[in-house]
Structures are given as C-alpha cells and as structure tokens.
Amino acid sequence: MLDLAITGATVVTRAGVAPADVGIRGSRIARIARPGALETASQTIDARGQLLLPGAVDPHTHLDAEMFNLHTIDDFESGTIAAAAGGVTTIVDYAFQERGGTLAAAVEKWRAKAAGRAIIDHSFHIALLDPTPEAIAEIPRMVEQGITSFKIFMMMNFEARARDFLRAFRVAGESGALLTIHAEDENLIGYCTEMLLRAGKESVAHFAASRPPLSESAAVKRALAMTQMTGAPAYFVHLSSRDAIAAIRRARDKGRAVLAETRPIYLYLTEERFLEPHGERYVGYPPLRTAEHRGAIWEALADGTVDVVATDHCSWTLENKLSANRFTRVMPGMSNLETLVPMLYSEGVAKGRISLERMVDLVATNPARIFGMYPKKGVIAEGSDADLVVFDSERKVIVQSTEMHSRADYDPFEGFEVTGWPSITISRGEVIVTDRREDARRGRGEMLRRAPFRADWRST
C-alpha cells in the first residue's frame, strides 16, 4: 500500500507534461502511473485541474546572514517556511569563512544556524573570503564531505589577493568543486562611486550609476580568463546585464564549463525603481538595470544561456534599508523566496516567454544537477525524494508583504498580480504547506551531502 497518492494532476516529468498519478511510499516517489492505475493509498490528494511540479531548488540564499554588524531578518525558520510556501523544497545557503578562519568552521557555524529550525532540506556553499594556504588546502576535504561549491566575491578585496584566489581556483577545479562567482569589478565600482560622491550625488537615485553594466561584464571577462588559466569551472551568480550574458554565451560556444544564474528582480523590475520614494527597498548587488538589459535576460532564459533562476534571498526590515544616509551604505538584498516559482510561472510561462518544462529546468532540475543533488532532488521520478508541489495555474494572488511568510515588512513585488500559486507543498513525502498555511516540525529539514561537479551535468 502507498502512503500517499496524488491523482488527477498534469505532471511535469522527464518524459514531458502529461496527466499521471503519483504514488509515494515513505519519503520517496514509489510509482508514476497512468490516471486511475495506482494501487490503494492511505491518503489521497485530488489534484484535478492542477499541475504537479518537482519541488524547486534554490541554490542562492542568505539566511541568518551577518552583514555590516546586522543579521538578516529571516533565519532558517522563517526563511525555509517562506520557501516552502512558495514551492521551494531545497535551498543551498552561503556559509561565510571568517578572516583567518577555517572552511570547516564556516560550515559548522551554518549547520548550527539551521539545526532545529529548517523545515526543508538544505546544503551550503562556502564563501571563500581569505584564501590562505591553509584554507586552500581544506578545499579537497570539504568536497569529500559533500560541500562541493565555493563562492568568490570579485568586489571584496579580491584585487589584493588575486594570485591567492588563482591558487584556490586551481585546487577547486582539481577537486571537483564548482566556483560560484559574484562578478563585479571593485576598481570600476570604486571609481564610479568616487566620482558620484565628489559631485554630491549621494542618494539612492544614483546607485545604479555607481555599479554600471560595464563593471559586471569586465569582471565576467576577467573571471573567464582566470578560470580558463586554472581549469576551474565557473558558475556566475545573479547576472543582470546584456554584455555579461554575451560573454558567457561566447565562452560556452567554445566548449567552456561556464554556467549562468539570474535573479527575479532583474526579470521584473528596472532601475527606475530607485527614483521612487524609499527606492532603497530595491538595492541589491548588482543594481537593477534598464529595460534593454531586462529583455536580454529573458532572451537568455529562453535560449538556454541562463541555466538557473535563484533568489539571492537576503531580507531586511524597511527600517534597515532606509537607515543609510547615502547609497553606499544601504543594506543590499531583499526577500523573494516565496515568489520565485509563482512569479516565474506568471511572467514567464503564462505570458508565453518560456515553456513550463523550461521553467522546471530553471528552478528545479538544473540547480539539482549542477550542485550534485540529482536525481534525489529536482525531478519527479521513481526513486527520487517526494518533494512535490501541487500548483494551481489559475489562482490569482496579489503580492502583499502582510500575507507573506518572510519576517521582512515589505516585499519588492508589492502589488504585483500573480497568476498561478502553489496549493500544496510536499517535502520527502510529508505535506508541509496547504493553501499558504504551513504545518511542519521545526528542524525536520536535513542537511544534504552533494556530489562533485560534473562538466557533463546536462546529460546526467
């Protein structure tokens, strides 16, 4: 007998989109059958008229993160609840190495943050901030323990340590690790910021000019050269601009192991938001761009250049965001875990920009493959974890911060009308959200051991 059956849905599997019934036994998918062909189950969910999607995998979050002596407002409790309410059943958060600290200590610190709080499964990247010989020597040991990706910030003292980072790149590549790269050129940003401040242009209205598209594309091109020299694969996070995307497209055409991620704010918002009252709400690194760049990102989603849409969820209160007296001091980041899946469906699939199958690749299958969790995660297949989302493609929801599960008291997409929203979220066979109401034991989420990066990840 099955523990749970989901019947009547249109299911997105590796074979395509078709009506099917899905049976769950324990924490895994036991059977995918034609409608009406499942054996008896202890519990049945009638999903007629709805879609059944694999739970989304968000590989870019910052929960309980520390920045400028403040902690993000969402920890692993509220953050994972918001994720689950939006159909995200797995996250990969960033564990920050302390200056002079070990990589193992960073992972242990973040593991403790999640313990007893996270309601969905999770893993960690390590943000490599201090590439000492000792830290570099730890990289192979971290990969052996299932921590298989490392974050590089190109605008946080990167210039002074570039040769040390090159050594880290080489060891990462040799160890089967993937580099996730924040590509912004710190010297170009510093120069632009200096010129703006000298001219008395200190308000958030000038934030986009302080980090122009050229600062991103220049960093992407440099990182491509550095990873080519060292043989390391590169995954560029939260790409926001046309020329950066074009550089990655050219590198990939030459057979390079180069991957690309973008972020929801670059798909739905433009830099005019900084001119609004309280424009600080929209500050993130890199900044919002013009409509031309937004269009280029959508094209890259459709043609396969961008592999993943991830949130970079890094939430603050409105007071935190508005407390700065100039644009250089505004806390970067915002809440958007809960809207990742429904907004990409609404703006992408429902409006004909991308197919449903492509959406599932972008938010579930690709990140699971890239970050060593497939086929355990990211797919509806027999033997995979029963991480599933019953999705009502007709439901209309107005985004309102008061109805979201993040502790942030504002939402960057406030007032957007969204067509399509999760009805039920299931994690490892357990219903944890029903009709936007969560009911999950704190700490039920498990830490995942991930496999090394494979350059042939598309064919796994």
Give 442: exposed, middle or buried? Use CB within 10 Å, 0-12, 13-18, 19+.
Answer: middle
Quick check: pTM over 0.85? yes
pLDDT of residue 156: 84
Question: Where exactly are the structural domains of the chain?
Answer: 2-53+381-438, 56-376
pLDDT of residue 6: 98
Dist. CA 56–CA 89, nearest whole Å? 6
pLDDT of residue 239: 98
In degrees rounded to 5, what are phi and psi of residue 285? -110, 125
Indicate the residue type of 366.
N
Dist. CA 448–CA 452, nearest whole Å? 13
In degrees rounded to 5, what are phi and psi of residue 35? -55, 130
List the pLDDT tens digit at each of the 460 positions of the chain. 999 999 999 999 988 999 999 999 999 999 999 999 999 999 999 999 999 999 999 999 999 999 888 999 999 999 999 999 999 999 999 999 999 999 999 999 999 999 999 999 999 999 999 999 999 999 999 999 999 999 999 998 899 999 999 999 999 999 999 999 999 999 999 999 999 999 999 999 999 999 999 999 999 999 999 999 999 999 999 999 999 999 999 999 999 999 999 999 999 999 999 999 999 999 999 999 999 999 999 999 999 999 999 999 999 999 999 999 999 999 999 999 999 999 999 999 999 999 999 999 999 999 999 999 999 999 999 999 999 999 999 999 999 999 999 999 999 999 999 999 999 999 999 999 999 999 999 999 999 999 999 999 998 8
Class of the domain covering 2-53+381-438? mainly beta
Structure tokens at 143: 């990969």
Hey, do 2-53+381-438 and 56-376 end up sharing a CATH topology, with the first three levels equal?
no
pLDDT of residue 219: 98
Q: Do residues 58 and 90 touch, judged by C-beta distance below 8 A?
A: yes
Class of the domain covering 56-376? alpha beta
In degrees rounded to 5, what are phi and psi of residue 63? -100, 140
Give 270: exposed, middle or buried? Use CB within 10 Å, 0-12, 13-18, 19+.
Answer: middle
pLDDT of residue 460: 83
